[in-house]
Amino acid sequence: MVIQSETRSLDARMNKADLANNAAICDLRSDTVKRPDEGMRRAMAEAVVGDDVYGDDPTVLALEGQAARLLGKEHAAFFPSGTQSNLAAMLAHCGRGEEVITGHGYHVLASEARGASVLGGIALTAIDVEADGSLAPANIIAAIKPNDPHHPVSRLVCLENTHKGAAISLQAMQMAGDAAHDAGLSVHLDGARLFNATTALGVQPAALAATADTVSICLSKGLGTPAGTLLVGSAQAIEQARRWRKMLGGGMRQTGVLAAAGLYALEHNIERLGDDHRRAETLADHLIKLGAGDPKQPPRAATCMVFFTPTEDEHLAFRAAMAEQGILLGGQSRTIRIVLHKDVDDAKLKRVCDATSAFYEG
Ligand SMILES: Cc1ncc(COP(=O)(O)O)c(C=O)c1O
């Protein structure tokens, strides 16, 4: 059996210790590869903790309260990961034999091992995704099943923002959410990178969150924590999700250590997401000016990500040349997702620009 992951696709010449300690490495595989900085580590070390399964951890309670306030929802629960938070939300909204309608390529469908189906007996149905990454109201409505025992009961629409880096407008989100609600369905928003979306769109987090009943927000991506995702929603939905979290093995104990990182991130790391977006634009512009890659798929920035497609002929050589310079790129496909994050400053960005110039201009 061949198992592939972002980590296992690493250049075999680099061992893990090199990766962790080598400041010369510029890791662009994902925003999940960043490391907690000094301030965050101090906050973690100083966290007041208790047993969160007993509801005793004051730092977790503070983080959950802060997230609920920020997102304009009644309650929040702190999860180990985005996958578990999305799964618990789907299980909280849907029963066995019910259906989640979501987009082709959305993370809950494409990258979470269909946990809702495997563990919850929930059908996942995919509909087309529009060019801006949104779900069209007409497509949502068309996918809702009639009340007929030949079909699962349509119960939930799962939206995503950002989708593949693209920030979907508040209006498109409202239209999708309204279509679902008007038809009597609930809405979950996979907002793993919600703050990237609000930063790019210039909208309040609560405004985007208001388009859905529950929202999942990862702290461990651009916000820079080692782990953790917040699920926000009504008191009832969060209570249900907490039951599922325990059953899924996500009841954590003195997790205030992680929650402290989350509180630190909400205070210090939201605004700086704009720097990642600016650097992504700079890199995409640089590649465009170089005339680099497949002219049919020009380089494109989307919040913290750049999508770059070298030609068939140069693809492998491009990847090898970057690896040679200590620049790590994820995946294996010809369209390369390059992700800017907290540990890529202007100096590192310049190195990436210089390495691409050297490859294309010699
Ligand atoms: C859109 C989206 N949703 C959910 C997740 C899952 O998050 P986690 O890796 O914490 O399980 C990811 C992870 O990259 C994601 O990109």
The answer to the question of residue 296 being in a domain is yes
Q: Is 192 in the pocket of ligand 1 (CB under 6 A)?
A: yes
What average pLDDT does the chain have?
Answer: 95
d(CA 199, CA 340): 15
Helices 256-268 & 58-71 angle (0-180, nearest 10): 40
Q: What pLDDT score was predicted for residue 353?
A: 98
**pLDDT tens digits, one per residue of 126-156:** 999 999 999 999 999 999 999 999 999 999 9
Instruction: Examine the domain organization and report whether 192 and 54 are in the same domain.
Output: yes
Q: For 164-186, what is the mean pLDDT?
A: 98
Task: Please give the sequence-ordered ranges of beta strands (E in DSSP) within 173-233, or none if there are none.
Answer: 186-190, 214-218, 229-233
**Torsional sign, CA 235, 84, 254, 222:** negative
Q: What is the Cα 235 distance to its own chain's centre?
A: 24
The answer to the question of residue 1 being in a domain is no
Instruction: Examine the domain organization and report whether 253 and 277 are in the same domain.
Output: no
The answer to the question of residue 327 being in a domain is yes
Give the phi and the psi of residue 144 in degrees, each rounded to 5: -70, 130
pTM beyond 0.85: yes
Q: What pLDDT score was predicted for residue 303?
A: 98
Q: By C-alpha distance, which of 104, 96, 94 is closest to 125?
A: 104
Q: What pLDDT score was predicted for residue 4?
A: 54
Q: What pLDDT score was predicted for residue 362?
A: 80
**pLDDT tens digits, one per residue of 301-331:** 999 999 999 999 999 999 999 999 999 999 9
CB 119, CB 90: distance < 8 Å: no
Q: Which residue has the tokens 């702290």?
A: 219
Q: Is 82 in the pocket of ligand 1 (CB under 6 A)?
A: yes
d(CA 154, CA 175): 18
Tell me, what CATH number does 307's domain have?
A: 3.90.1150.10
**pLDDT tens digits, one per residue of 189-198:** 999 999 999 9
Domain end point (choices 240, 268, 296): 268
Domain end point (choices 268, 299, 333): 268
The answer to the question of residue 182 being in a domain is yes
Domain end point (choices 249, 268, 287): 268
Instruction: Examine the domain organization and report whether 324 and 203 are in the same domain.
Output: no
Give the confidence band of 23 by pLDDT, cuts at 50, 70, 90.
confident
The answer to the question of residue 128 being in a domain is yes
Question: By residue range, what is the domain housing residue 347?
Answer: 16-33+273-361
Q: What pLDDT score was predicted for residue 24?
A: 81
The residue whose CA is least distant from atom 7 of ligand 1 is 82
Q: Is 216 in the pocket of ligand 1 (CB under 6 A)?
A: no
Instruction: Examine the domain organization and report whether 45 and 181 are in the same domain.
Output: yes
Instruction: Examine the domain organization and report whether 349 and 239 are in the same domain.
Output: no
Tell me, what CATH number does 154's domain have?
A: 3.40.640.10
Instruction: Examine the domain organization and report whether 54 and 166 are in the same domain.
Output: yes
Q: Which residue has the tokens 């909400």?
A: 266
The answer to the question of residue 6 being in a domain is no
CB 94, CB 122: distance < 8 Å: yes
The answer to the question of residue 123 being in a domain is yes
Instruction: Examine the domain organization and report whether 243 and 356 are in the same domain.
Output: no
d(CA 293, CA 258): 41
Ligand 1 centroid – CA 83 distance (Å): 6
Instruction: Examine the domain organization and report whether 63 and 146 are in the same domain.
Output: yes
Give the confidence band of 22 by pLDDT, cuts at 50, 70, 90.
confident
* CB-CB neighbours of 158 under 10 Å: 28
- Count the domains in the chain: 2
The residue whose CA is least distant from atom 4 of ligand 1 is 82
Q: Is 157 in the pocket of ligand 1 (CB under 6 A)?
A: no
Instruction: Examine the domain organization and report whether 262 and 281 are in the same domain.
Output: no
Instruction: Examine the domain organization and report whether 234 and 286 are in the same domain.
Output: no
Ligand 1 centroid – CA 190 distance (Å): 8
Q: Percentage of the chain surpassing pLDDT 70?
A: 94
Give the confidence band of 94 by pLDDT, cuts at 50, 70, 90.
very high
Instruction: Examine the domain organization and report whether 233 and 141 are in the same domain.
Output: yes
Q: Is the model's pLDDT at 13 over the cut of 60?
A: no
Instruction: Examine the domain organization and report whether 186 and 261 are in the same domain.
Output: yes
d(CA 10, CA 35): 18
